[in-house]
Structure 1
Amino acid sequence: MPAKALRDALNVFWDKGYQATSLDDLTAAMHLSRSSFYACFGSKHAVMMAAVELYADELFTRLEALAASSMPAIESVHAVLAAIAEVDAGRRGCFFVNCVTELAPHDPALATFGQDHVARTSALVIGLLERAGLTPELAQTRAAALLALVIGTITLRKAGLPVPALQTILGQAQLLLADTTSAT
């Protein structure tokens, strides 16, 4: 799939959502004729799935790099959460979260991909928490709570909460990470 055309489609879906994006919107943004669009991507759904996968894979690559850095594990967790939340990224929201909330209840393929992406992100955070000294069980429950906090922060960002309020909310992660040594 042509990378630039896929990125152009991703931006259209991100701006308008899947349902509100027409084939004309996509072909215009991607600089493709309808026949080229269908020959290259097959369908609107296929291009949306490819765009979501591209976005999620690129984000996960950034998260893996943060996790593999030389920072202490808890600092890496904070860096991963901040990278996911992107509190200063504006009201567009997170493309992955936008797609999942719009479509996953009625789109089994996207729901499965969404669950897989959340699972791999959770496993990354769990690994960092275990490296910081939490038991596997506690790392699992704290990772779930931390990811729920981040997704909520993303949703509130999209709703227009100011950056300082979002930072305060995301700062609540400190409470879940404050005393990892006595939590084991």
Structure 2
Amino acid sequence: MSILIHQSTYSHTQQTSPVMGRPRQFVPAEALRDALKVFWEQGYQATSLDDLTAAMHLSRSSFYACFGSKHAVMMAAVELYADELFARLEAMAAASMSALEAVHAVLAAIAEVDAGRRGCFFVNCVTELAPHDPALAAFGQYHVGRTGALIAGLLERAGFTPELAQTRAVALLALVIGTITLRKAGLPAPELLTILSQAQLLLADTTFST
């Protein structure tokens, strides 16, 4: 449970500012989104520097001057993706719906059962790289921690004790990440929805802890 109770002090990547010599009209944020698309489609290891520079419309010299390295671009892309998703989840948690309705909305937004076999960019990167990439592992723990804390806060609003809210939040995250993995494996959306519906069992009892 420590991943939720003791949230990581991970510090976001400091992106290098654009320098002289970049192409005219070059916008780093747009180039980063182009890189994200390539990494999402091909994975990190299979993406070459030529793939990135072509997608980002950069020469190698401009790429290195603006972003530093392939790994730095990947980290910035993962952070961008996760931060934007988390902002959406926070908005759902703050919306005028019941706490349990907000939990269901958050889980559905993470699972994206109709999004096809690409999977979740964050989960894809963590699965591929985190075991041997300390920086990505640290960010992964940070993002899972803040998402779990968000869900646990909603469960407390719904009447769960703080300890049980933490336990159930971890179980719900495990369920939704498993659903994402099965989506990537090609399970049809109706079956994924059936799996995700098992969250109701974890939300039905505010007093019993297994």
Bin for the TM-score computed over the shorter chain: over 0.9
Rounded to whole Å, the distance in 1 between the matches of 2:141 and 2:50 is 31
The answer to whether structure 1 residue 6 and structure 2 residue 32 are counterparts is yes
**Which of 159, 164, 168 matches 1:138?**
164
Greater RCO, CA 8 A, separation 6+:
2
Deviation (angstroms), 1:179? 3.1
SS of structure 2 residue aligned to 1:89: coil
Letter in 1 for 2:66: C
Greater Rg by CA: 2
SS of structure 1 residue aligned to 2:164: helix
CA-to-aligned-CA distance 1:93-122 (integer Å, 9 cap, x gap): 000000000000000000000000000000
Q: Normalization by structure 1: what TM-score? A: 0.98
The answer to whether structure 1 residue 16 and structure 2 residue 35 are counterparts is no
Rounded to whole Å, the distance in 2 between the matches of 1:150 and 1:136 is 21
**Which of 129, 134, 148 matches 1:108?**
134
Rounded to whole Å, the distance in 2 between the matches of 1:78 and 1:179 is 15
Deviation (angstroms), 1:183? 4.6
Rounded to whole Å, the distance in 2 between the matches of 1:53 and 1:35 is 24
**Which of 167, 181, 184 matches 1:158?**
184
The residue aligned with 1:46 is: 72
Which has more helix, going by share of residues? 1
C-alpha contact 1:85 1:153 (8 A) present in aligned 2:
yes
CA RMSD of aligned residues (A): 1.0
Runs of 5+ in structure 1 lacking a partner? none
Rounded to whole Å, the distance in 2 between the matches of 1:123 and 1:82 is 17
Rounded to whole Å, the distance in 2 between the matches of 1:165 and 1:30 is 37
SS of structure 2 residue aligned to 1:20: coil
Structure 1: which 4+ aligned runs deviate by more than 2 Å? none
Q: Normalization by structure 2: what TM-score? A: 0.86
Deviation (angstroms), 1:57? 0.1
Runs of 5+ in structure 2 lacking a partner? 1-16, 18-27
Letter in 1 for 2:108: A
Rounded to whole Å, the distance in 2 between the matches of 1:147 and 1:3 is 30
